[in-house]
Each structure stands twice: as structure tokens, then as C-alpha cells.
């Protein structure tokens, strides 16, 4: 009897995207030199975009969805991995150009995989997920541009989302004073529990603003883009730094050159999809060392595999707080 594996598959036909669960054979779970029994995946904002087709993320006629997965190696022709290794996959075109993590079994290239550091389980890896890994990359970028706790207050926008919640946890653990910006002010106590010292309403930042504004932030981690990012730039202190890693408010950036020319500020892009392997491995080592796993659990919710399509709409509407873990294994 040929074994099959449950997967969430996107099929594009006549320009329209259809998403549904299918039973796939071993020949349909991907190409590569490593096969993984997937244990957990997660739901990111980008997963929601992929399933809604609001942005044309899926670029193939048929793909297994899911930009993240964590599991155990069951077969390997790659010298970096042995059977039994715990591994994580983030990005590298999952849900875009090759099969992703919403499947009970995945075959992929070993060059896409990171061996999990000691101290992080496969479930915790997906509680972190691409959003948390992106938050770590953002913090590392701030550090490399000289931002230290003594620099001043660090703003985190989209604070109730996946990137925001992990960024707050990381920054507070490293000694930074953090202000959280959120559209869900009812989450104030939750965000303070993660380490935010102040919580502001996103309305303070989300509307068109002046070219130059009173300085408020030494640095910022932004996952919103659009007017929010433009206002953050206009409010940075001299030599302030902001990392940009998301587009929750929009793809546009309606800003101007004044803060750059007069305040010496820096706007740093953060890419998690194609980040080189040494940077990925460093980020995961830092997560194992710097992220409070008790706080991670407090910001994590569980979603059944069958409920992923419905939950995708909720994450796009900002109705999911923190990180969402999807249990794939039976």
C-alpha cells in the first residue's frame, strides 16, 4: 500500500487560486536531498497573503503552502544532516516557487535547512517561526548599526503581531526600553507583560504626517510600512535607525528626504527569505540564548491544521495576537 500525506495545496488555474487539503503521494512532496517528517508549522502574515492571493505570492500552478516548518529528518543524502536531526525551514521560496511546510512529509534541499540549536524544540521553533526569526534579524541589524540600550527608547510597530511580540520580548530581555504601537490597545497589559514600558495607539502614526516631527525614538522595528514607517522616520532622533521588514499597512512609503539629510537617520531593510545561511544560523543561536521561552509560550496560540485556511483571513485582519503554531503531525 502506497502511503500518502495530508497537505494544504494551492492550485492556480485560469488566473485564479484554489486552496484545499489533498492527500499527496511520496512523489508529490517536493524535490531535494533531505526528507522531513513535519511536526509543526505556523501561520504568518505572508501565509495569509498567499492564501488570499491579495499579493501574487504563489508563482507555480501547484504548490504545497506554508513558508515555515520544523520536524525530524527521516532520510538524507546531504552530508550536513543525519536521520533524527531536528531542523527548521524559513522562507527560501516556500509557498512561492517550491513546496512549503503545510504537509505531513516534505522533501527539500538541505541548503534550505537549519539544524535547530539545543534548547529549542520543534514546537518552539514554530512559535518563533519566520516572524520571530525576522524580529531577531531586525534586532541584530540595530545592534550592528550601534544601537545599544543607552541609545534611548526603541519603538516596535505592529506590536500585537508575530514580529512585534517577539521583538518586544527580545529587546526587553536585552535591556532596551521599548514602546509598543498597536491598533489593539486592549492588549496593553499583555504587551507590557512581554516587556514594553509604554503602549501607544497606532493612530498616532498611521495617518499622513509632517515631513519633520518632534524626535521620539532612538530606533524602531517596523512591520507596517506606508504612513506608519514614514512617520517613524520623521520622529527618529539624530542618527536614529529603523528596520523595515513588513507591509501590514501598505506597500507604499510616502516619506521625504528631510530626516535623512538633516538628522542623519538610517532606514534598514530586513529580508528573511533569502538571508545567507551563516546569518540564519546566527539568528537561531541568538534566539536560543536571548529569547525568554516562558514569554514565547505566553504569546503563542495553537491552531489545528484543518483550521489554517479560515485562520488565514483572521491574520490579515489583525485578529490573531502573537504567534500561531500549527500541529502537523498526527
Query: Is 142 in the same domain as 33?
Result: no
pLDDT at residue 113, rounded to an integer: 96
Terminal CA-CA length for the chain = 19
User: pLDDT tier at 273 (50, 70, 90 boundaries)?
Assistant: confident
Mean pLDDT of 227-256: 96
Q: What is the pLDDT of residues 111-144, one digit of tens each?
A: 999 999 998 999 999 999 999 999 999 999 999 9
- How far apart, in whole angstroms, are the C-alpha atoms of residue 263 and residue 257? 10
Closest CA to 94 of 75, 78, 117, 70: 70
Domain-terminating residue out of 225, 252, 269: 269
Q: What is the pLDDT of residues 77-122, one digit of tens each?
A: 999 999 999 999 998 888 889 999 999 999 999 999 999 999 899 9
Q: What DSSP character marks residue 307?
A: G
Report the predicted TM-score, pTM, of the whole model to 2 decimal places. Answer: 0.91
% pLDDT > 90, the chain: 85
- How far apart, in whole angstroms, are the C-alpha atoms of residue 158 and residue 242? 14
Query: Is 28 in the same domain as 147?
Result: no
Is the pLDDT at 1 greater than 90, yes or no?
Answer: no
Whether residue 62 contacts residue 9, with contact meaning beta carbons closer than 8 Å, is answered with yes
Helix (H) or strand (E) holding 141: helix 122-144
State the residue range of the domain holding 319.
Answer: 5-116+299-327
**Residue at 123 is within a domain:** no
Number of folded domains that form the chain: 2
CB neighbours of 15 closer than 8 A, spacing ≥ 6? none
Query: Is 53 in the same domain as 155?
Result: no
Query: Is 134 in the same domain as 247?
Result: yes
Whether residue 4 contacts residue 23, with contact meaning beta carbons closer than 8 Å, is answered with yes
Query: Is 46 in the same domain as 87?
Result: yes
Is the pLDDT at 190 greater than 90, yes or no?
Answer: yes
Residue 294 burial (C-beta neighbours within 10 Å; 0-12, 13-18, 19+): exposed
Whether residue 162 contacts residue 314, with contact meaning beta carbons closer than 8 Å, is answered with no
From residue 192, alpha-carbon distances to 171, 183, 292 in Å are 12, 15, 14
Amino acid at each position: 500500500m502506497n502511503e500518502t500525506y495530508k497537505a494544504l495545496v494551492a492550485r492556480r488555474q485560469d488566473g485564479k487560486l484554489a486552496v484545499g487539503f489533498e492527500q499527496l503521494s511520496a512523489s508529490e512532496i517536493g524535490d531535494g536531498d533531505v526528507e522531513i517528517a513535519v511536526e509543526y508549522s505556523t501561520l504568518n502574515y505572508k501565509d495569509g497573503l498567499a492564501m488570499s492571493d491579495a499579493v501574487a505570492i504563489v508563482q507555480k500552478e501547484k504548490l504545497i503552502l506554508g513558508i515555515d516548518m520544523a520536524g525530524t529528518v527521516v532520510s538524507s543524502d546531504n552530508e550536513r544532516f543525519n536521520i533524527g536531526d531536528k531542523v527548521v525551514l524559513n522562507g527560501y521560496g516556500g509557498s512561492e516557487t517550491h513546496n512549503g511546510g503545510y504537509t505531513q512529509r516534505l522533501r527539500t534541499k538541505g541548503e534550505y535547512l537549519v539544524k535547530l540549536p539545543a534548547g529549542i524544540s520543534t514546537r518552539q521553533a514554530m512559535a518563533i517561526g519566520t516572524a520571530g526569526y525576522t524580529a531577531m534579524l531586525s534586532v541584530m541589524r540595530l545592534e550592528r548599526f550601534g544601537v545599544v540600550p543607552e541609545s534611548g527608547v526603541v519603538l516596535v510597530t505592529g506590536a500585537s503581531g508575530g514580529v512585534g511580540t517577539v521583538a518586544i520580548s527580545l529587546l526587553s530581555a536585552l535591556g532596551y526600553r521599548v514602546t509598543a504601537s498597536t491598533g489593539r490597545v486592549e492588549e496593553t497589559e499583555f504587551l507590557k507583560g512581554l516587556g514594553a514600558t509604554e503602549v501607544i495607539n497606532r493612530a498616532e502614526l498611521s495617518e499622513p504626517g509632517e515631513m519633520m516631527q518632534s524626535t521620539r525614538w532612538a530606533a524602531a522595528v517596523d512591520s507596517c510600512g506606508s504612513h506608519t514607517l514614514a512617520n517613524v522616520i520623521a520622529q527618529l532622533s539624530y542618527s536614529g535607525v529603523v528596520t523595515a521588514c513588513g507591509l501590514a499597512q501598505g506597500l507604499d512609503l510616502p516619506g521625504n528626504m528631510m530626516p535623512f539629510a538633516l538628522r542623519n537617520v538610517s532606514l534598514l531593510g530586513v529580508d528573511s527569505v533569502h538571508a545567507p545561511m551563516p546569518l540564519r544560523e546566527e539568528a537561531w543561536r541568538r534566539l536560543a540564548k536571548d529569547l525568554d521561552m516562558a514569554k514565547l509560550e505566553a504569546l503563542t496560540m495553537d491552531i489545528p491544521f484543518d483550521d489554517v485556511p479560515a485562520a488565514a483571513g483572521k491574520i490579515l485582519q489583525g485578529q490573531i495576537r502573537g504567534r500561531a503554531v500549527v500541529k502537523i503531525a498526527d
